Amino acid sequence: MAEPRSESAVVVAVPARLASSRLPGKVMADVGGRPMLRHVLERCGKARGVAAVLACSDSAEVLTAVRRWGFEALATSEHCSSGSERLASVVAELVAAGGAPPERTLVINVQADQLLLDPVLLERMIAEASGAAAQARGAAAWLPVTTPVYPLVPEKIHDSNVVKVQRATDGRAITFSRSALPHVRDLPPEHWHSRATYWGHVGIYGYRADVLAGWRGLPPSPMERLEKLEQLRLIEAGIPIATFRLEADCFAVDTPAQLEQARALLGAEP
């Protein structure tokens, strides 16, 4: 007889691609005596309310190491174009790890290079993704997609390496871009911050599993191809993305200099 499924579940999934284009092999780079990916998985495992923490990778080396560390690992295709697509390709296994139906499973996508992640952020994500309406009913349900944002300092507003979010008054994401949003007419760009709040995007997503399962069925997204931002696929398909505010970005490693910075920061932790 099959065991009854849980009412709801939270699963943290970390897509881990060894062949990173900007810093190859970074997920297994040594930081303080342990690989970067292990730091991420261990921090995720400290968050309250999480049923399972898994890594998803196309690398046999990564899969073997993750299992040796005591975490679950799922093999994925090497042809996934983004972390979200990588998780979508194994969403059935992610749902099974949580033990709840897809519509009551929250899959939190954490980047494999966010090795200084605060587990409290994941707990905040769970609270925000539950939605006020679900809390009022006393039932566990999840918003379709949830992601954190943070106010940009003026010197970052026009940095194309920083992903920006334009938000509606209710906190819903209108669009994402590498360009500054909104454009302030009749004012020099260096003064735009005096007229509007600019929001940066933290690359962590909370997907309701049934929404994630439909990822590959979404229509092609011209804006996603132009900006190289996977979340634009959801926007163009009309899937709402709820945002919530953090005070700062979550540190991630994309360059050799940032890797050295991470080693210094981790070494400075108590």
- The CA-atom distances, in angstroms, between 7 and each of 51, 58, 88, 115, 140 are 12, 31, 22, 31, 7
Number of domains in the chain: 1
**Residue 5: HSE in the Cβ half-sphere, 13 Å Cα cutoff:** 14
Does residue 246 belong to any structural domain of this protein? yes
- The CA-atom distances, in angstroms, between 131 and each of 1, 88, 134 are 34, 23, 6
Does residue 53 belong to any structural domain of this protein? yes
Does residue 30 belong to any structural domain of this protein? yes
pLDDT digits (tens, 9 = 90+) for 205-253: 999 999 999 998 998 889 999 999 999 999 999 999 999 999 999 998 9
Q: Which pLDDT score is estimated for 131?
A: 75
d(CA 125, CA 245): 10
d(CA 28, CA 263): 13
pLDDT digits (tens, 9 = 90+) for 42-93: 999 999 999 999 999 999 999 999 999 999 999 998 888 899 999 999 999 9
CATH code for the domain of 109: 3.90.550.10
Band (pLDDT 50/70/90 cuts) for residue 2 is very low
- The CA-atom distances, in angstroms, between 220 and each of 74, 193, 237, 269 are 26, 34, 9, 44
Does residue 4 belong to any structural domain of this protein? no
User: Average model confidence (pLDDT) for the chain?
Assistant: 91
Q: Which pLDDT score is estimated for 267?
A: 74
Does residue 151 belong to any structural domain of this protein? yes
Residues 6+ apart with CB under 8 A from 69: 38, 41
